[in-house]
Amino acid sequence: MAWKIILIVAVVGFVAVASPSPALSQEKSPKWTLVDLNTLDCRTYLKMTGEERETTVAFYHGFVSGMKKEMTVNVPLLSEISDKVLDQCIDKPNEVLLKVFQENRK
């Protein structure tokens, strides 16, 4: 019987914590709702905030790793590749970002 009460309290607590309050959810709406990886260009990448750019880099590395069916990654190498992607995007802002990542991950 006691475990049922604990379970109910835990579930109610989780729902209360996980549910965004109306005030918080209205403060900041997401900028990105739909992203086409075939058209997202370097110019857009370069204009991203630091946090957006970090998230984008992590996503693209994961995406390309998945395409290549890689189960292990060399983190220092990925960091170097990220720097190369940034440099290439500065030089060619109209390039498709996915293409730049793929070229640098060969």
Comparing 23 with 40, which gets the higher pLDDT?
40
| Cβ proximity of 36 and 80 under 8 Å | no
Give the DSSP letter of residue 41. Answer: B
Please report, for the chain, the start and end positions of each structural domain, with discontinuous segments joined by +.
Answer: 35-106
pTM (2 d.p.): 0.68
Residues 46-73: tens digit of each pLDDT: 999 999 999 999 999 999 999 999 999 9
When the candidates are 3.30.1490.20, 1.10.890.10, 3.30.70.60, 3.40.50.1820, the CATH number that belongs to 35-106 is 1.10.890.10
Over 60: is that where the pLDDT of 3 sits? no
Identity at 18, one-letter amino acid code: A
Give the side-chain half-sphere CA count within 13 A for 76: 0
